[in-house]
Amino acid sequence: MSLDDKTILITGGTGSFGRAFLKRVLSAYEPRAVRVLSRDELKQWELQQEFGDDERLRFLIGDIRDLERLRIAFRGVDIVVHAAALKQVPVCEYNPFEAVQTNVLGSENVIRAALDCEVERVVAISSDKAVSPANLYGATKLCAEKLFVRANAYVGDRPTRFACARYGNVAGSRGSVIPLFMKQASTGQVTITDERMTRFLITLESAVDFVISCVSEMRGGEVCIPKTPSVRIVDVAEAVAPGAERVSIGLRPGEKLHEVLLAPDEARHAIELPDRYVILPDQPSWSTLAPWPDGEPVAEGFEYRSDTNQWWLTVEEIARIAKTL
């Protein structure tokens, strides 16, 4: 499916991903309209100043907790990208009821509204923290994934299909470590939770391209995972704040030493393609749009981990990414 001549809605559209998504879609495609749904009127105003009077843009104030608002916003929409969430691990730990209301029940509302309005394709953005979650944020994203996969069973004769895009840390996104190290660099000291830590890293532009490809290629009920490089936290510190003293402060509550994007239990239903892994739905009760071509089943017990990944960024490569932020 092409994004040309489609009406697209993105929830949480004023966030880091949403802004990058808008730039890419408006410059590379010819959508009929792009609707930005978010709670923050100031950020919407700022986006309007940035994009000027582009007649394709629509700015909608609303919260994914409000099902009736979503039903109105989704009318006439062909594609929904669900990016709205409470994403900061400490915030979710301290405000667990709010995290569940937004990330779980809000996701359910997105599904219900999409079904009611017969949206053709819906992709939810997930996280590596949804795999064997160690914190509430990860648990809510795992629950949201399960909702979106099984939402296809509620489709009936509607054209709607649901899928997920799961990836790791986004370079430069709000709350991520690179901006923190940039801020600390001037002090000559950076704080590191554990020097053994590794993470997957994806640029914002690559994340946008991947989600758009998921919209185009999804069949219904799958979780798509891009092949991305890993980084060592000490290499990130050296790239962003060269020569700075590193102070170890210990792992935060709910924080992992390494992240996993594809767990061994999921490997039983996963296939590998040149640029991604795809976790296929287990015994779907719905008809998928078409089989995935050319995919090869992954080995039994396969695990896609940040510390055993075969693709690593060097300090120089991380530094080049940081300079673009």
Q: Which residues are catalytic?
A: 129
| Rounded CA separation 242/234 (Å) | 10
Is residue 107 a contact partner of residue 82, using CB atoms and an 8 Å limit? yes
Cα dihedral sign, 304-309-311-313: positive
Is residue 178 a contact partner of residue 236, using CB atoms and an 8 Å limit? yes
Tokens in use for 41?
């009127």
| Rounded CA separation 217/208 (Å) | 14
Distances (CA, A) of 55 to 22, 33, 52, 76, 97: 13, 8, 9, 17, 38
Distances (CA, A) of 186 to 236, 243, 323: 16, 11, 16
Burial class (CB in 10 A: 0-12, 13-18, 19+), 109: buried
Burial class (CB in 10 A: 0-12, 13-18, 19+), 50: exposed
Is residue 37 a contact partner of residue 225, using CB atoms and an 8 Å limit? no
SS3 for 312? strand
Alpha carbon 320 to chain centroid distance? 23
Nearest residue to 110 (alpha-carbon basis) of 92, 93, 122 = 122
Tokens in use for 169?
């840390």
